[in-house]
Structure 1
Amino acid sequence: MGLLIPQFNSPVVNGVRQATPWNSHKNNVKEFFQTGFSQNHNLSLLSKSDRSSTRASISFRDQRGTVPNTDQKKYTAQLNNDYKISDKVSYDIMANFTRTESNNLVTQGYDSANPMNGLIWFGRQVDMQDLKKNWDQRDAQGNYTYYNWNSAYHMNPFYTMHESRNALKMNRIFGKTSLFYQPFDFLRFEGRVGLDYYNTHMFETTYYNYDNKDGKFNEIKIVILILMQILSQISTSNLVILVYRGL
């Protein structure tokens, strides 16, 4: 029968955990992960005339992570337009909007909220299917038992991914527009301006782990606006001169 050792999932008789075979589960790390899934949907429209060219597109991407209970959705809208006002004057514009959101991303760092920490420390004797089956086990009072192979330093990774959530919402808008003046075939002037704006909202919630025994809530909000440099550009057939004007 091999080595017999009392283990976390061994039966308890008269308050004493019984010895059971010390078996190897050679795929236990692999069994934590799942097959990821991704789907993409795109719709584009194009319109052209003698003086104008316009393209608009929208897209949606839905992903399920390889780590249990993780996901990410991304929405994108884009508009591009080139327009010839006259034989010598024209402009172009590009605008892009992206929204990224997730109900749960894997927490990074050496923390109990990161399920990878427990995977680093455990051995092949741990039955991952047993952890998955019993991650939400509760006692007679309805409290979590925190069922795991180690009850001192590490959390059940399935419990972690359901009760230590790391949500994200991020919006980004960026674009630029240029105005061109071309008095001759060999000479063109360009003025350009653009911006890049995004706001990020992250919300972390932990019900309980060994680093945060009273639970934890953490909210982070970031807003950044970048006005891109305004440039005057003079282009000739064999010379380019850039003049920085700063904002």
Structure 2
Amino acid sequence: EVAVGEQTAINVTLGEDHQELEEVVVTALGIKKEARTIGYTTQEIAGAQLVKAREPNPVNSLTGKIAGLTVAPSAELLGRPQLILRGSSNILFVVDGVPVNSDTWNISADDIETYTVLKGPNAAALYGSRGQNGAIMITTKRGTGDKRRVAVEFNSSTQIQPSFLAIPERQNEYGFGSNYQYAYTNSLYDEGNVNRRANIWGPRFEGQNVPQYDSPVVNGVRQGTPWTARGANNFRDFMGVGVLSTNSVAVSSSGDNYDVRLSVANNYQKGMVPNTGLNITNFNLSTGVHFNDRLKFDGALNLSLQNSPNIPQSSSGPESETYIFQVYGSANWSVADMHDYYKGPQGIPGVQQYYAEYGRGNNPYFVAYEWLYGHRKTDLYGYGRLSYKLNDHFNLALRSQITTWNQLRTERVPYSAITYKTPDLRQGDYREDRRNLLENNTDVLLTYNQNLGKNFTLSAVLGANARLFNYNASWATTDFLIVPGVYNFSNSKNPVQGYDFGADMTVLSAYATTDLTWKKFGTLGLTGRFDKSSTLPAANRTFFYPSASLSTVVNDYVRLPEAISFLKLRGSYAAVRTALTQYSIGSAYQQVTG
């Protein structure tokens, strides 16, 4: 202190003080810790780094960004990327510290502040058996820190995919047939032709006259026309231009005792297969309120609406355009002649398709516009957390989260579609696959932080969790249709076939974690969790799994060469258990029939 006295000016000289800001990462239960004290592997990446080059799915952006995480983006519309973390594909998703059931499409990339990948069982021990292989933690954006207190953010991008990166070459030297022979029969639909089954063993394309599907019939006899590879580029000519358009707007505000953010994002995809597309709209609301110095509330709500009139199929079957062209189709016909898929005399509107190879497969335009796979899904998740600061060392929090979604997928199989069904009467079908999920997690958390003298720092969490899970699914199909083009179960020619499946689960848990740091020499971390699961036998439903870790930053107490800026040693141990559950559930048909 300096006495002012009668002085009118005081000269102050600021001295340098070198201090390093500690990196903080979000760990299990959403707890923030200094990265240098963590005894297991974590890696964090900012969401802003991953939206410069847009991906259809936000998780696709993690490709090549996280060590040990393999991301295999799906080329299919609405296909979930395959994620493998240290050899396992069973990875837990956590949003703002709360586990969610995610198809990876139900969150907007523009709402993500950071991704943190917790690797291995130590990192996710406090999330129970479903986190035994690690977790991908997503922290969403909150209210603005702008001094003007209100901020508006708008993002828009459009990408065009004109073609595939690579297309396997196919031979276009021979047409379909067998024993190097082929001739379309005199009948309208080529019935009884023994030489049309295989697709590459027919005559060589040399311009010779061969009776074909569009050759003229004179006096009941089909004439020959030049045999050429007129459809060598059928697949490229059929596929269109893919479009990915993403638009989002967010309004955020904050004050001395509150923050709020509201965003709307739309993801539109136009498939390369004609008449396919996907529209996803996400609404996100997050808020926080400080009632006083001790009591505060924060929460978030996310609604995702998905809709597709038709999802292209990539299976090896007669409903897949890729299969039609690249596996089974020949080059002796041009796809340009297939646009009118009810063209006469072969075609009859609503009843019989027109196709050069009918009997072997389906007209690709007929599949694209008549054999439809619809998709609708409503996905909602959110949480609310109320926390109270008991004193300088203890904090008590109550948190409850809900995840729920309902999904409807339909399949409309038109008359004359070749399905490989037994018997294949080609009289159409209609199917519905309904799935509903509801999950609630409620936690009570008591946290403790204190310096123990001059040498030790202790932080601990004691918590309890109740997890309620309910899944219901139904799958039903007609057994051929009575009236063409009428897609409902009352139009089934034979009795409707239906399957139902339900799964309920309750898990009650108690857990604890503690970190003890000794000066700057090292940190010991311990966790333990008890689970009581309803999926296990009544006499043996409770199990315990612990973990321990030790870490030290050598730079803090050993002078190292300048070339080594940071050296950390760590080791960990964990014992995990499972509750005889599976991390994903399919349709009722799959669950019942296997």
Question: When the two structures are superposed, what TM-score results if normalisation uses the length of structure 1?
Answer: 0.88
After TM superposition, give the deviation of residue 169 of structure 1 in Å.
Answer: 1.1
| Contact preservation (8 Å) 2:370, 2:412 | yes
Q: Which amino acid aligns with 1:226?
A: E
Quick one: distance in 2 between partners of 1:163 and 1:126? 21
Aligned to 2:358: 151
Q: What is the DSSP-based 3-state SS (H/G/I as helix, E as strand, rest coil) of the residue aligned with 1:162?
A: helix
2:261 maps to which of 55, 60, 75: 55
Aligned to 1:246: 466
| Contact preservation (8 Å) 2:385, 2:397 | yes
Structure 1 range deviating more: 135-144 or 208-217:
135-144
1:8 corresponds to 2:210? no
After TM superposition, give the deviation of residue 148 of structure 1 in Å.
Answer: 2.0
Alignment of 1:79-94 (within 5 A): 79-94=285-300
Quick one: distance in 1 between partners of 2:273 and 2:358? 22
> Cα deviation per residue 1:42-96 (whole Å; 9 max; x = unaligned)?
2211121100000001122332211111111112111000111110111110100
Aligned to 1:36: 242
Q: Which amino acid aligns with 2:441?
A: M
2:447 maps to which of 213, 234, 240: 234
Quick one: distance in 2 between partners of 1:198 and 1:175? 12
Quick one: distance in 1 between partners of 2:364 and 2:271? 15
| Contact preservation (8 Å) 2:314, 2:321 | no
| Contact preservation (8 Å) 1:139, 1:145 | no
Q: What is the DSSP-based 3-state SS (H/G/I as helix, E as strand, rest coil) of the residue aligned with 2:369?
A: helix
> Cα deviation per residue 1:79-123 (whole Å; 9 max; x = unaligned)?
000111110111110100011011111235444333332121123
Aligned to 2:411: 204
Quick one: distance in 2 between partners of 1:161 and 1:71? 11
| Contact preservation (8 Å) 1:12, 1:18 | no
| Contact preservation (8 Å) 2:289, 2:298 | yes
After TM superposition, give the deviation of residue 156 of structure 1 in Å.
Answer: 0.7
Q: Which amino acid aligns with 1:112?
A: P
| C-alpha distance 25-114 of structure 1, shift in aligned 2 (>3 A) | closer
1:183 maps to which of 368, 387, 390: 390
Alignment of 1:114-193 (within 5 A): 114-119=320-325, 120-131=327-338, 133-139=339-345, 142-143=348-349, 145-193=352-400
Q: What is the DSSP-based 3-state SS (H/G/I as helix, E as strand, rest coil) of the residue aligned with 1:31?
A: helix
After TM superposition, give the deviation of residue 141 of structure 1 in Å.
Answer: 8.8
Q: Which has the higher strand share?
A: 1
Structure 1 range deviating more: 57-66 or 134-143:
134-143
After TM superposition, give the deviation of residue 6 of structure 1 in Å.
Answer: 2.7
Quick one: distance in 2 between partners of 1:118 and 1:140? 19
1:222 maps to which of 425, 435, 439: 435
Quick one: distance in 1 between partners of 2:213 and 2:316? 24
Q: What is the DSSP-based 3-state SS (H/G/I as helix, E as strand, rest coil) of the residue aligned with 1:129?
A: helix
Question: When the two structures are superposed, what TM-score results if normalisation uses the length of structure 2?
Answer: 0.39
| C-alpha distance 70-54 of structure 1, shift in aligned 2 (>3 A) | same
| C-alpha distance 141-226 of structure 1, shift in aligned 2 (>3 A) | closer
After TM superposition, give the deviation of residue 184 of structure 1 in Å.
Answer: 4.2
Q: What is the DSSP-based 3-state SS (H/G/I as helix, E as strand, rest coil) of the residue aligned with 2:262?
A: strand
**Pairwise CA RMSD of aligned residues?**
2.4
> Where has structure 1 moved over 6 Å in runs of 4 or more?
none
Quick one: distance in 2 between partners of 1:33 and 1:117? 13
Unmatched segments (≥5 aa) in structure 1: none
Q: Which amino acid aligns with 1:154?
A: G
Unmatched segments (≥5 aa) in structure 2: 1-204, 451-457, 468-594
Q: Which amino acid aligns with 1:29?
A: F
Aligned to 1:70: 276
Q: Which amino acid aligns with 1:160?
A: V
| Contact preservation (8 Å) 1:189, 1:235 | no
| C-alpha distance 140-185 of structure 1, shift in aligned 2 (>3 A) | same
| Contact preservation (8 Å) 1:62, 1:72 | yes
Quick one: distance in 2 between partners of 1:155 and 1:3? 26
Q: Which amino acid aligns with 2:459?
A: L
Q: Which amino acid aligns with 1:179?
A: L
| C-alpha distance 235-95 of structure 1, shift in aligned 2 (>3 A) | farther
Quick one: distance in 1 between partners of 2:206 and 2:406? 58
| Contact preservation (8 Å) 1:71, 1:104 | yes
Of all paired residues, the percent bearing the same amino acid is 18
Structure 1 range deviating more: 180-189 or 53-62:
180-189
Q: What is the DSSP-based 3-state SS (H/G/I as helix, E as strand, rest coil) of the residue aligned with 2:251?
A: strand
Aligned to 1:112: 318
| C-alpha distance 149-231 of structure 1, shift in aligned 2 (>3 A) | farther
| Contact preservation (8 Å) 2:441, 2:465 | no
| C-alpha distance 17-227 of structure 1, shift in aligned 2 (>3 A) | farther
Q: Which amino acid aligns with 1:221?
A: R
After TM superposition, give the deviation of residue 197 of structure 1 in Å.
Answer: 0.4
Q: Which amino acid aligns with 1:205?
A: R
